[in-house]
Amino acid sequence: MSDQLGSSKSGAVDQLNGNNAGSDKAKPLLIGDENNSSSSISIDDEDDSDKASLVAPTIDEMLSKIDETTLANLDKPMMVRKYQHEDCSTPEWFEHSKHVFIFSLSGKPIYSRYGDEVQLNTFMATLSAMSSFVESQKDELRYINAGAFKFVFLHRDPLCLVSIYNTSEPPQIVSAQLEYMHALVVSMLTQTNMKAVFDAKYDLRDLLGGTDKFLDNLMKTIDNDTSILLNSVNCLRLNYNTRNEITTIIHNNRHESVLFALLVAGNKLVSFVKQKKYSLKPQDIHIVMNFVSSTSSFRESETWTPICLPNFNDAGFLHLYICYIMPDVCLLLFSAQAEAFYHLSSSKDAIVKELESRNLLEELSKAVQNHGYSVEATGVPYLLHFIQNETVMVAVASSHELYATFSPLESKQNVFDSFSQLLQWIKDNESNIYNPFLKILKD
Amino acid sequence: MATKKKVLLKVIILGDTGVGKTSLMNQYVNKKFSNQYKATIGADFLTKELMVDDRVVTMQIWDTAGQERFQSLGVAFYRGADCCVLVYDVNVAKTFENLDSWRDEFLIQAGPRDPDNFPFVVLGNKIDLENQRVVSQKRAASWCQSKGNIPYFETSAKEAINVEQAFQTIAKNAIKLEDGLVFPIPPGIQVQPEQTQTKSSCC
């Protein structure tokens, strides 16, 4: 296997086919309307812990939902993925620099980033045999170095995720990326259902039909997004007062069943409101943003869909209200109540109305277009790149991480001076860069 | 993962060393036979697509090592199998007598939910060497019957006798198991009674 990967470098170049892999026609898997979405989460009055008690939907419910989606898709042409025709018998398949495979612990294929997973079923069986061999010696296979390629294995019962890559990333980073892919699968099925389906020897692909796109997109994002590396979320650059006002408006107008409210612009967070006893991990926020941005039909209407937030509770679904209030700005409201759709829709109307009356939509639209900082804007000499991470949710001045890149030939003194200058610049601009991410409001 | 429902079956081939497990698989998948013997190390994997009652089925065949020293894959190897194929050589009595332990080994390791009805198929291979035969068809058939009516085929990987038919039955029986598990689709989704929502408490 490794030999094949290594020796095929001289093969054909990546073949891009013209099919519209990201087509607008795609139908999201988990969309249910208020009539058929299952009620799956209930919040216990007595429970003060920060885990809501969830009731997982039964497999029957899951399957019936899938079936409806399948039926709805019958009259649509099947979407062809990019690279779908490739497998380990085509030279171009070996040219990709980072493969990702997901299969069940029994060695049955679920997903391949490149190529058709069914055609690759013996390849994945081989990977699972490699991992089984080590497992039978009461150990766990994590990494393999094979020439220019590395194999990274991530075991998450009942799944195994493997990446084979020749980028220079360390295995720990790639392993963290596989964690994200796993979280995405859980967000679509819940861990409870996944185990039940696996134990019943069902082919998990039946339940994941049509979700390649989410996995493909997330992998693309992960590959390019430093915020995932730092376990954080990118925030939209916005005037401090503007953001404050927006957050307050969302807070004041949200329906009482709303657990979390997020306003996002692309994959950037604008505003975040939550109930005090619950919190949302960056990973869950990324999963949701990926879900929303992967489905262009969300742009056209209000949507109500069940989704599992793996770090919040991987046993059941929450209900998510999705509505684009502006072309690139989307309001997301999470509720535990399956029948809260109309309440949340009215909340949205009230929020939009107030944002409009205070001219905040216009400001937001400007911010969306002007997002980004250039290195030049900081006025810091010698600086090539910088990344900053707010390590705690509530802003405290000393809790930031700052990463900066300079030329390797730069003198220590220069680097030091520039770094101090950059810090000062960030301090001066702090209020616009982030911080309002989590605003704890007084009731 | 297109939206169309697909069936993928994991099929495990077990049996003593040299009975022709790899040859049967090669005959079935590649339509090839070689007289040269090469021990399987660990496991080998082949795949084949076939039609069973108008359904496209992909078989993922796990060819195992018969030699004990190469059997090191453990529990995970058997996990989630949809069908187990037991192979013996009609010309070597010992390979037939060992079927019992192969079957037991599988049931212990795989731990299927309903061991009595787990689909096995028995193949008596190398029937082309007719004059050396030591295990009669009757004896084999009665063993299969005593183990819950396991389908029995006499095959020759070399002459391609009964190979196609045997694998067709393997797929059919494995699917039956899957189909038996189909959850009935309820008329409408039942909604759990909702508890009263905690009043949101932001500090």
Supply the ipTM of this predicted assembly: 0.81
Q: Would you say residue A345 has pLDDT above 90?
A: yes
First to last CA, chain A: 61
User: What are the residue boundaries of the structural domains of chain B, listed by start?
Assistant: 2-202
pLDDT tens-place string over residues A162-188: 999 999 899 999 999 999 999 999 998
* Percent of chain B residues topping a pLDDT of 70: 79
pLDDT of residue A51: 43
- Nearest by CB: A70 against B3, B113, B191: B3
- Arithmetic mean of pLDDT over chain B: 81
For the stretch A415-434, pLDDT in tens is: 888 888 888 887 777 666 65
pLDDT over threshold 50, residue B127: yes
Average pLDDT of B84-105? 95
- Domains of chain A from N-terminus onward: 1-44+80-372 (3.30.450.70), 375-441 (no CATH)
Mean pLDDT of B173-197: 46
Q: What would the two tokens of residue A134 be?
A: 């080590």
Q: Which residues of A touch B196 (CB under 8 A)?
A: 45
| Selection from B177, B172, B157 nearest residue B110 by Cα | B177
Three-state DSSP at A255 gives coil
pLDDT digits (tens, 9 = 90+) for A367-424: 888 766 667 777 777 777 777 665 443 333 455 677 778 888 888 888 888 888 888 8
3-state secondary structure A149-165: EEEEEEEECCEEEEEEE
Q: What is the mean pLDDT of residues B129-152?
A: 93
Structure tokens at A383: 């600086």
The Cα A442–Cα A176 span in angstroms is 36
CB neighbours of B107 closer than 8 A, spacing ≥ 6?
Answer: B115, B118
Pairing state between β A400-406 and B152-154: unpaired
CA distance A387 to chain B (A): 32
Among the partner-chain residues A42, A60, A136, the one whose CB lies closest to the CB of B194 is A42
Q: Which of B106, B48, B99 is nearest to B74 (CA)?
A: B106
Instruction: Looking at the complex, report in whole angstroms how far the Cα of residue A42 sits from the nearest Cα belonging to chain B.
Output: 6
What does the DSSP 8-state code read for residue A281?
-
**Cβ contact (<8 Å) for A258 and B200?**
yes
Q: Counting Cβ atoms within 10 Å, is residue A350 exposed (0-12), middle (13-18) or buried (19+)? A: middle
Distance from C-alpha of A224 to C-alpha of A437, rounded to nearest angstrom: 22
Residue A5 has pLDDT above 50, yes or no: no
Using an 8 Å CB-CB cutoff, list chain B residues near A122.
45-47, 60
Q: Residue A333 — very low, low, confident or very high, per pLDDT cuts 50/70/90?
A: very high
State yes or no: pLDDT of A441 exceeds 60. Answer: no
Output the CA–CA distances (angstroms, integers) from residue B158 to B13, B22, B126, in the order listed: 17, 11, 7
pLDDT above 70 for A30: no
Mean of pLDDT values over A217-237: 85
Nearest to A108 among B10, B196, B200 (CB): B10
Would you state the structure tokens that stand for residue A329, as one six-digit string?
Answer: 């700005």
What pLDDT is stored for residue B9 in this prediction? 92
Least confident among A107-116, A398-407, A433-442, B160-169: A433-442
Which residues in chain B are closer than 8 Å to A275, comparing Cβ atoms? 200-202
* 3 state SS of A72: helix
Mean pLDDT of A17-33: 33
- Whole-number pLDDT of residue B69: 62
Which burial class, exposed, middle or buried, applies to B101 when counting CB atoms under 10 A from its CB (0-12, 13-18, 19+)? exposed
**Domain B2-202 falls under CATH 3.40.50.300:** yes
Residue of B nearest to A335 (CA): B197
Q: Examine the pLDDT at A9 and tell me if it is beyond 70.
A: no
Shortest distance, CA A108 to any CA of chain B (angstroms): 7
Q: What percent of chain A has pLDDT over 70?
A: 74
pLDDT for res A195: 84
Whether the bond between B115 and the residue before it is cis, its omega within 30 degrees of 0, is no
In this prediction, residue A61 carries a pLDDT of 59
Supply angle C-alpha B166, B169, B171, rounded to 5: 110
Q: Which two tokens stand for residue A319?
A: 């209900």
Neighbours of A214 (CB within 10 A): 25
Q: What is the rounded CA–CA span in Å between residue B39 and residue B68?
A: 11
Structure tokens at A268: 């950037």
> B3, B44, B61, B182: best mutation site toward chain A, by most A Cβ within 10 Å?
B3
What is the average pLDDT value for chain A, to the nearest integer? 77
Query: pLDDT digits over B31-78, tens only?
Result: 888 888 777 777 788 999 999 888 889 999 998 887 766 666 667 788
Cα separation of A138 and A140, whole Å? 7
User: Nearest chain A Cα to B83, which residue?
Assistant: A201
Contact A110 B10 (CB under 8 A): no
- For the residues A333-361, what does the mean pLDDT come to? 94
User: Alpha-carbon distance A412 to A417, whole Å?
Assistant: 9
Residue A224 scores a pLDDT above 50: yes
C-alpha–C-alpha distance, residues A302 and B51, integer Å: 42
Q: What is the 3-state secondary structure (H, E, C) of chain B?
A: CCCCCCEEEEEEEEECCCCCHHHHHHHHHHCCCCCCCCCCCCEEEEEEEEEECCEEEEEEEEEECCCHHHCCCCHHHHCCCCEEEEEEECCCHHHHHCHHHHHHHHHHHHCCCCHHHCCEEEEEECCCCHHHCCCCHHHHHHHHHHCCCCCEEECECCCCECHHHHHHHHHHHHHHHHHHCCCCCCCCCCCCCCCCCCCCCCC
- Per residue in A144-157, pLDDT tens? 999 999 999 999 98
Widest pairwise Cα distance in chain B: 89
Contacting residues of A for B113, CB less than 8 Å apart: 201
Q: Which residue of A has its CA nearest to B184?
A: A60
* Residue A91: exposure state from Cβ atoms within 10 A (0-12, 13-18, ≥19): middle
pLDDT of residue A193: 83
Q: Residue A372: its pLDDT value, please?
A: 65
Closest CA relative to residue A152, chosen from A133, A180, A127:
A127
Q: Confidence band (pLDDT; 50, 70, 90) for A44?
A: very low
